Amino acid sequence: MSRAFLIVMDSVGIGGAPDADRFFNDGAPDTGANTVGHIAQACAEGRAEEGRSGPLNMPTLAGLGLGAGVKLASGEDAPGLMADPAGLWGAATEISPGKDTPSGHWELAGVPVPWEWHYFPDQKNSFPPKIVAKACEIAGTEGILGNCHASGTNIIEELGDEHIRTGWPICYTSADSVFQIAAHEEHFGLDRLLKLCEGLAPTLHAMKVGRVIARPFIGENGQFTRTPNRRDYAIPAPSPTLLDWAYDAGRVTHAIGKIGDIFSHRGITHLHKGKGDADLADHLIRLANEAGEGSLTFANFVEFDSLYGHRRDISGYARALEWFDTVAAKFLDRLQPGDLAIFTADHGNDPSWRGTDHTRERVPVLGAGPGIGSRSVGNVGYVDLAASLATHLNIPAQGPGKSFL
C-alpha cells in the first residue's frame, strides 16, 4: 500500500502570483515578489555571503525541478537552480484571500478559505477595548502590555522586564490575522499563558481572527529567549481536510511541526514536534524509514519564514535552503517503492522585499518517489495537491481539487 508525504517549506514561494497586486507590504503591492528567484539572484551576484558563499547550491531540489518551477511561475531564471528536471514538477496558485499560514495550509489540504480574515491594522492600540478587557479578565490582571504591531523577539526585549515587574501579559499582532501573547514561563507561568490563549481563542475566532498564539520566553534582566513551547490556537478549517480524509479512511497520519496547531489537531494520529527545524528534519527522515503502509505524513518547516523571511535576511534564508536541500537528499534516499513525496510551500516571504510581511506568490510543486519519473504538471491549484495525494493513497477526495497524477 502506498505512502504519501506532503512537505511544506514555509514561505518558499517562487513568484508570479496573478493577483499579487491585491496584496501589500509597507503600502506597496507584492507584484514582482519572488522568494526563491530573488535569493538565487542575490547569491549569484555575491550579495548573500554571510555564513555561505557563491551561487545558491540546492542540487537535490533543483534536480527535481525547482528552477524550472520558478521559470514556469514567474518567467524568471533562478541562477544555480536551472537543472533539467528529474522529478514531477510545476507551480501552484492560491485562491484564498490571504497570504498567511492557515490559508495556505488549508488550501493545500483541499479547503480554500471561504471568508475574509479579520486583521488589526492599527500599529498602536491595535486591539478593541472589549478584547483587552477579556484578556485582563482571564489573566487576572489590571492591564496588558504592548497592544501594538511588533516583532516577537523585539517586544520581549523591550517589555520583558516590565512584564516581570507588573505581571501583565504582552499582547501584540502583525500584518497576519493573529493575536499573540508573550509571557515568561516562570514569572507568569506556562500553564497560565496557555489557559489565557485558550480562553481568548473562541472570542477571536468568532471575529475570524485566524490564530491566537502563545509565545513563552525565559531569561532575566533583558536577556530573554523564546522557548519551543509555542502553541497556536487556530480557528478550525470549515470542512474536512486531507488529514481528515485519510484519518476517516482508517489511515495513520503523522503531523510534523506546527501542522497539529494549524489544523486544530483534527485528523492526526501522531504528532511530532521539536525545538527547531533540525529536530523536525530528524522526524521526517525517521518516518521515511518507519511510517507504515498507507500512511500520510504532513510536515511544516517554519524557520525559513520565522527566522529569515520576516527579518529580510537573504544570507540566512539562503543558508536555510541549502541546509534543507541536504535534508531532502537524505529523506529521498529512504523512500520505498510506491511512495510519493511532494515538496511545496504555503506562501512567499521574499527577504529582498520591502516591509516585513509575507509576499503573495505561487509555490513550487516538486514530486519524487521510486517510479514517479520526470514530467511537468504545469500550473495547478493548491487544492490539486490534496486531490493528487488522495488519488495516490486511494482514498476519497472531498475538496474541489483535481488530481494531476
Annotated binding site for Mn(2+): 10, 305, 310, 346-347, 358
- Selection from 92, 100, 48, 35 nearest residue 69 by Cα: 92
| Contact indicator for 226, 214 with CB cutoff of 8 Å | no
| Contact indicator for 12, 345 with CB cutoff of 8 Å | yes
Start-to-end Cα distance in the chain: 17
**CA 135, CA 147: separation in Å to the nearest integer?**
11
Residues of the binding site: 10, 305, 310, 346-347, 358
CA 230 to chain centre: 14
- Selection from 325, 383, 338, 387 nearest residue 93 by Cα: 383
Residue 124 pairs in a beta bridge with 148
Alpha-carbon radius of gyration of the chain: 21
What residue ranges in 114-201 does DSSP mark as E strands?
145-149, 170-173, 178-184
**CA 248, CA 245: separation in Å to the nearest integer?**
5
**CA 300, CA 282: separation in Å to the nearest integer?**
13
